[in-house]
Structure 1
Amino acid sequence: MKSFATPRLFGRSALLATGIIMAGAALAQTVADNQTPETNLNIPANLQVFGKLDPNVRKPTAIVNDAIITGTDVDQRVALLIAANNVKPSPEDRERLRLQVLSGLIDETLQIQEAKASDITVTKEEIDRSFAGVARSFNKPVPELRIYLRAVGSSERSLRRQIEAELSWSRYLRRKVEPFINVGDTEVAGIIARIKANQGAEEFHVKEIYLTASPEREQQVLSEARALIGEIQKGQKPFEQVAHDRSEASTAAVGGDLGWVRAGQLPETLAQAAVEMRVNQLAGPVPVPGGYSILYLVDTRTIGTSDPRDTQLNLRQISMAFKAGITQAEATEKVSAFAKMTQEIKGCGDVAKAAAAFGAEVVDNDSIKVRDLPPQLQDIMLKLQIGESTPPFGSPTDGVRALVLCGRDEPKVAGLPSMEQVRQQMEQRGVNLRADHKLRDLRRDAIVEYR
């Protein structure tokens, strides 16, 4: 969960792919303290571990079916992820990210190898085009992106390898998997009938951290849950990381994401919390069978209706940086003058002139949805008239800025999807499932030597 205390808009878009892709998860399944999960591994209930895990044995470099992944490969991908997401991980978080990146690089290597084994190649020209597309997403020409990658500790080679893996795997799936996915009309009609029956129902996109609590540990778990909530609210750790590290639900691997659910699909206490929560709000500790949960409401929607937050906006952003070492009094004075300037703007046609007189910078964005803005700005934007400006916002380090509304396109009323739309979605789901199974088989058959 991001902290939006000092929102920054119109930053660079997300990287082409993070290399660590997490799919949506089903509703969490929990296991009580006195139960053992059913597996086919025949693991003793009271097992004894002989020896200990030595972290020095497995360092983040590997040879995958004779293809070498070096420590430099890992370091450069880690650097790119950190820079692209603008985060400063702790040493422990960085080490965890290195292991995740290594796993992602192994998967990429297996995907490229499998594609080549199927006579699938990706040309240099195709990689060049995708590389240029990533440069555009960073709002940089290609030469500047190369310089940027080196500056943050990454490289063009690292990004091009990631692009090659994505293109190779996508082409492999189109050739080897998609032709064998068939969805019948009866299945499609059944899905549409269920959607029609649920029209008007409210859905919640929620994430959960689940902690088991036996009677003798209840107070301890409550204290732990409250401490975790404090860490998240203070911005010390994002919700997804805490869920990954501490949640005891099956969704821990995907940051606690339960996806879109209706209240009736949740335990009664969680359902009540979801109904009463606001978007981007935490709730908890909430008592649930076997323990306690911390709930985060990502978004809400009503099936079959349009959402005002899907309104697409045409905006002009006015921004002014603060000089280094500015005092609180000076910053307050500048913000006051900046606010007066924005209040006197007479429509978007007046923005450039007003900003130039004030020494401010103007940036346009013609296609941003209300829901993509920080929560503090969403309600404000929905209430603005064309030509009006938001109040100033920013921080001492980012400076001050405001948004002027130049136009809006209201969302269309959502109707039932067509047969073909549902079919495409179901076919894509089938492709993704078979792709996961194929990658799992490749991992099982791979010879991986850690160095």
Structure 2
Amino acid sequence: MRMIKLALLRFTALAGAVTLFATTPVVAQAIEGEADNAQIYAGVAASVNDEPITIADVANRARLILLSLGVQPNEQTIIQAQQRALDGLIDETLQVQEAQQWEIEISDLEIEEELERLAAGNGMTLAQFQTDLVAQGINPVTLRQQMKADIAWQRLVGGRYGSRVRISDLQIDDRLSRLEKSMDQVQLRVSEIYLPAYTPEQMAQMEQGAWDLRRQIQEGAPFGLVARQFSAAPTASNGGDLGWMSPSQLKEELAEAIKGLTPPAISEPVITEDGVYLVSLMEQREPVKAELAGFSLAQFETSGPDAEARLDEVEAAFSSCEAVDDAADAVDGVVAVKLGALPIDQTSIVYADLFTNTEEGTLTDTLTFDGDRKVRVVVCRQIMSGAQLPSREEMESRLREQQISLLADRYLRDLKREATILRR
């Protein structure tokens, strides 16, 4: 089977339904014997707020999933693809319905442009791409529907939450600091597939499903594509990629599961309290020796005979580097200045020693300049080199995407809870 790379939903919780691996014999009949089951094939597989999803819709989407995985389908993979197809179509129907409530319209031109990009990514023109789909027994309409839902949902989520998500300097500093401190451990590049389970029966279903997915991956299905189709983790839209991590940053059960594996390797299914995981260990590297490269600083400045007392008041009001302006505003005559990053090679030995021996997030003793100008410096963070850390902009973008993804997942769960969904 020829594999086609598909642009899948960015925000959807791809495997939220707990019946992921339940059998659906009617749909199986529709896929495997549609010529002899025309009446069944035209039937309804589910309805979402009275809007029908036909068995033909499910069959077309299931073929698309199997084509994207690039594996030779067997009975189990067909069943999985059918249920994933139905879950995905239910999600998309809810997304489009909600977008319509907010009067979000997606033009045919926008869909065409996305399809053209997708075709180009497969080295084809749009006409060739659609011909290839038809040759595989897939109605191109199913991909257009998926694109429409994807664009509408991104626009809706971006409009509702994009301006609300604020990533603070404190959050960025905290994440970068934790990354720095983990750099003295072995670094692992890992990806995940998460199948949620909330009852013993569901756990058994998810464990069996995880074994089936593992077998498909070992037979050649790309881990990232399987994660996009089946994982319920926020990382699903990124192929399950967690990036470089130390073992201490992973869940204990996941770290234990890949302990001793030689990359590239995939764990056996990992049972946790909230579901089942598969973990892919892609690369491993030795700890990076980090060296002090500089400091992220701010300062409070004042002058006059009562300068020391005012600085004491500021220090008492100070809570974080993010709120230096608030602390200064609380005391008359004190000015806050965010100095930003100061490389260590541009710092005098005296001050380098002072900043090195000052705990992060605290103030130095008072420094005196030009007679009566008094300054206390805040060491927001010690900057380490050799750790191959993301930039502040990259970390901000990463945290922002994570928050929006979590908000979008919660939004979709709320829609499901409030909807009338009938599976036939």
TM-score bracket, normalised by the shorter chain, equals 0.5 to 0.7
* Structure 2 residue corresponding to 1:69, chosen from 32, 38, 53: 53
Q: 1:263 offset after TM fit, Å? A: 2.9
Matched residues, number: 280
| Cross-structure match for 1:118 | 102
1:442 to 410, 415, 421: 415
Gaps of at least 5 residues in structure 2 are 16-21, 28-42, 196-206, 290-385
For 1:190, the aligned partner's letter is D
Q: How many angstroms apart in 1 are the aligned matches of 2:134 and 2:48? A: 26
For residue 430 of structure 1, report the CA deviation from its aligned partner. 1.1
> Could you tell me which residue of structure 1 aligns to residue 380 of structure 2?
none
Q: Deviations over 1:121-174 (max 9, x none)?
A: 111110110111111122111111121111111122111100001100000011
Contact 2:24–2:79 under 8 Å retained in 1 = no
Alignment of 1:115-194 (within 5 A): 115-194=99-178
Distance 1:239 1:136 in 2: 20
Which residue number in structure 2 is paired with residue 428 of structure 1? 401
The residue identity in structure 2 corresponding to 1:195 is L
Q: Provide TM-score, normalisation by structure 2.
A: 0.54
Tell me the distance in 1 between the aligned counterparts of 2:262 and 2:408: 36
Structure 2 distance, partners of 1:66, 1:160, is 22
Q: 1:449 to 1:22 in 2, by over 3 A?
A: closer
Instruction: Give 5+ residue unaligned stretches, structure 1.
Output: 1-10, 25-52, 211-223, 245-249, 306-412
Residues 1:14 and 2:5 are matched in the alignment: yes
CA gap 1:167/1:304 in 2 versus in 1, 3 angstroms: farther
Distance 1:158 1:55, change over 3 A: closer
- Please tell me whether residue 86 in structure 1 is matched to residue 86 in structure 2: no
Residue correspondence of structure 1 range 328-407 to structure 2 within 5 A: none
SS at match of 1:179: coil
Aligned residue in 2 for 1:197: 181
Residue aligned with 2:174, SS:
helix
CA distance in 2, matches of 1:106, 1:201: 43
Contact (CA 8 Å) 2:24, 2:82: kept in 1 or not?
A: no
Identity of aligned residues (%): 25
Contact persistence 1:207–1:297 (CA under 8 A) = no
Q: Secondary structure at the match of 1:150?
A: helix
Contact between 1:203 and 1:262, CA under 8 Å: does it hold in 2? Answer: yes
Amino acid paired to 2:404: V
Partner residue in 1 for 2:84: 100
3-state SS of paired residue (2:163): helix
- CA distance, structure 2, for counterparts of residue 184 and residue 267 of structure 1: 26
Match of 1:405 in 2: none
SS state of the match for residue 197, structure 1?
helix
Does the CA-based 8 Å contact 2:104-2:156 persist in structure 1?
A: yes
1:279–1:300 CA contact under 8 A, matched in 2? yes
Q: Is the 8 A contact 2:93 2:149 kept in 1?
A: yes
**Whole-angstrom CA distance in 1 between matches of 2:402 and 2:262:** 30
Tell me the amino acid that sits aligned with residue 403 of structure 2. Answer: G
| 3-state secondary structure, aligned to 1:417 | coil
Note closer, same or farther for the CA distance 1:93–1:434 as it changes in structure 2 (3 Å cut). same
Is the 1:12–1:137 contact (alpha carbons within 8 Å) kept by the matching residues of 2? no
**Cα 1:196/1:262, change in 2 over 3 Å:** closer
The amino acid of 1:440's aligned partner reads: R
Name the CA distance, whole Å, in 2 between partners of 1:101 and 1:435.
20
Deviation at 1:79, TM superposition (A): 1.2
